[in-house]
């Protein structure tokens, strides 16, 4: 089985496992939407709304192929070419402000000079990050420790590199603050002198397989924490910052929008209820201010 075939099978299997685990935790059901892409390929979107734990969540897979869109040709400096791309993307937005939002994405890309030719380039990308609305340090430590443990299985330098890249990427530069408490992020992981493509395949899928153990224990710890209108208000303000990042900075969202991607799948990541009140700042010394302080000065959690 080729790397492409193996990873394509993994994303579909992972979608099944993740959705089943979330349905057990939530009590609700995902609805499935199978779609086709004009030009080649398609995907399977699964969305849960107004469940017992999650206000909105989605676990999407896609396998698309065809002639390179003009935007990609310009980026790669080629006049023509063909591609294959597959990946899994998931975002979970809880009802409770005490339960953090979670995002993850793992993807593979192959590039060809001819439609039926051998690949001339290939790479993996992905990552996972946590966006709390109220800070529980043990949750942030748990989340980072899970991914550090996975990365350390492959090389001790990977987690520090991926953690730094995540802090840099998931950053609202116009606000001067991170989107959340970070996690891991990697892109353009190609075969090289030290690691072949199979190494990165195994690393990426291991990180993907760690998704449930990184997040569900946090959900179980916080789902019954008390909260009220004040906490909900702050959650919706912070969700506004989440939307700002996705629509202003996120490369995947912008790429999908500019290349004619499926809008419902692209914007699945946005929360259902947000707000942008004018010039709101948390009270000094409050739990809300504690979170914002951390977002302005990312920490090393493990």
Phi, psi (deg, nearest 5) at residue 3 = -55, -45
Distances (CA, A) of 282 to 46, 47, 287: 36, 33, 8
Give me the helices (H) in 210-280, please. Answer: 211-222, 229-248, 251-258, 263-266
Q: How far apart are CA 139 and CA 238, in angstroms?
A: 18
Q: Which residues contact 24 (CB under 8 A, 6 or more apart)?
A: none
User: What torsion, rounded to 10 degrees, do the Cα atoms 15, 21, 24, 28 define?
Assistant: -30
Length of the chain: 302
- Give the active site residues: 103
128 neighbors 104 (Cβ within 8 angstroms): yes
Q: How far apart are CA 219 and CA 224, in angstroms?
A: 9
86 neighbors 8 (Cβ within 8 angstroms): yes
């Amino acid at each position: 089985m080729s790397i492409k075939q193996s990873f394509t099978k993994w994303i579909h299997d992972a979608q099944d496992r993740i959705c089943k685990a979330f349905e057990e935790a939530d009590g609700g059901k995902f609805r499935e939407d199978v779609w086709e892409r004009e030009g080649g390929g398609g995907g399977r979107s699964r969305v849960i709304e107004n469940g017992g734990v999650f206000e909105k969540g989605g676990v999407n897979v896609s396998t698309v192929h065809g002639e390179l869109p003009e935007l990609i040709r310009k980026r790669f400096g080629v006049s023509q070419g063909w591609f294959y791309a597959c990946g899994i993307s998931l975002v979970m937005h809880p009802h409770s402000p005490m339960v953090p939002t979670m995002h993850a994405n793992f993807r593979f890309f192959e590039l060809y000079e001819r439609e039926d030719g051998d690949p001339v380039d290939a790479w993996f990308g992905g990552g996972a990050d946590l966006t709390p609305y109220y800070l529980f340090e043990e949750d942030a430590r748990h989340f980072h420790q899970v991914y550090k443990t996975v990365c350390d299985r492959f090389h001790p330098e990977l987690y520090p590199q991926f953690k730094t890249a995540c802090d840099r990427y998931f950053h609202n530069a116009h606000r001067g603050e991170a989107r959340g408490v970070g996690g891991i992020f990697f892109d353009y992981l190609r075969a090289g002198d030290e690691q072949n493509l199979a190494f990165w395949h195994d690393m990426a899928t291991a990180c993907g397989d760690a998704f449930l153990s990184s997040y569900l224990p946090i959900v179980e710890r916080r789902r019954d924490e008390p909260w009220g209108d004040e906490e909900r208000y702050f959650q919706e303000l912070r969700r506004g910052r989440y939307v700002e990042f996705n629509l202003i900075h996120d490369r995947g969202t912008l790429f999908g929008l500019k290349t004619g991607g499926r809008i419902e799948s692209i914007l699945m990541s946005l929360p259902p209820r947000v707000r942008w009140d004018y010039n709101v700042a948390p009270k000094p010394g409050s739990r809300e201010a504690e979170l914002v302080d951390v977002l302005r000065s990312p920490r090393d959690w493990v």
